[in-house]
Amino acid sequence: TAGITQAPTSQILAAGRSMTLRCTQDMRHNAMYWYRQDLGLGLRLIHYSNTAGTTGKGEVPDGYSVSRANTDDFPLTLASAVPSQTSVYFCASSEEGSNSPLHFGNGTRLTVT
Amino acid sequence: GQNIDQPTEMTATEGAIVQINCTYQTSGFNGLFWYQQHAGEAPTFLSYNVLDGLEEKGRFSSFLSRSKGYSYLLLKELQMKDSASYLCAVKDSNYQLIWGAGTKLIIKP
C-alpha cells in the first residue's frame, strides 16, 4: 500500500539517550515534514524538507535534527532526549502546490523518562 | 501572532447535523484545510477552501469567509464513526501551515 511508513510505533527512551525516528514514503513527494502533537496544542512543525538535499527549521526545532539524503527517507534524530520531548511524532509528505494536502504516517509515540 | 481557534469539544447525536467552527488570524492567507483524526491515528485530509463559499463533499461540507477569518465544517447524517477530532489549518503568506488544537466530536446514539 502506497503511503508513509514510520518506525518505531512507540518507544520509551531514557533521558540523555539518542534516538532516530524513521520515515519513508513511496509517493515520490518532494516535500516532507516532521510534526509533534501534544494534548491541547495544534500540530507543531519541527523540521521540513522541500526537496532531497535541503532541510529547514520549523516552529520547534531545538533538540532535533533531520537529513534528506534522498526523496524517500526523512529521519528525525534526537541527540540527547529530554522529558519535554515526550510526544507523538508524525511524519508527513505532500505534492507541490499550495492546495496539496499533507499525507501523514501513523505516528511514533515517544516517552522520555 | 498567528492564531487558530476551534471549540475544544462538541457533542452531537447520531443522525443529526453538527457545525464545527474555526476562526483564524494569520499573516496572509493561502488556503484553509480540514483534517479528521481518529483517536490514536494519523490525521486524514477532508477538505480545502481558498475562495469564499461552500465546498460540498458527500456528507461533509466546508465553508470559508476570508473577510471574517472564519470557516466551518458541516457534518450531516452523523454516524458513530464520525467520532473523531477535527483539525483546522491555515496556510499563511509563507505557505506555512498554522494548526488549530482540534475539536473533539463525540457522537451519542
Interval A59-95: pLDDT, tens? 999 999 999 999 999 999 999 999 999 999 999 999 9
From B7, B2, B19, select the one nearest B102 (Cα to Cα). B7
CB B18 within 8 A of CB B12: yes
Distance, in Å, from the CA atom of B9 to the CA atom of A93, rounded to the nearest integer, reads 28
Contact A7, A74 (CB under 8 A): no
User: For A98, which of B30, B43, B44 is closest by C-beta distance?
Assistant: B30
Residue range A12-37, pLDDT digits in tens:
999 999 999 999 999 999 999 999 99
Give the pLDDT of residue A1: 60
Amino acid occupying residue B39: A
Distances (CA, A) of B27 to A11, A39, A97: 37, 25, 19
Give B15-37 pLDDT, tens digit per residue.
999 999 999 999 999 999 999 99
Q: Judge residue A66's burial from the number of C-beta atoms within 10 Å of its C-beta, 0-12 exposed, 13-18 middle, 19 or more buried.
A: buried
Is it the case that residue B1 has pLDDT exceeding 80? no
B18 in reach of chain A (CB within 8 A):
no
Least confident of A63-67, A72-76, B46-50, B94-98: B94-98
Model pLDDT for residues A37-58, shown as the tens digit of each residue:
999 898 999 999 999 999 999 9
Determine whether the interchain pair A107/B87 forms a contact, defined as Cβ–Cβ distance below 8 Å. Answer: no
Three-class SS of residue B80? helix
A&B contacts, CB < 8 Å: 46
| CB proximity list for B90: less than 8 A, separation 6 or greater | B4, B24, B26, B29, B31, B32, B33, B97, B98
A2 has a pLDDT exceeding 80: no
**Strand pairing partners for B34?**
B47, B88
**A24/chain B closest Cα distance in angstroms:** 15
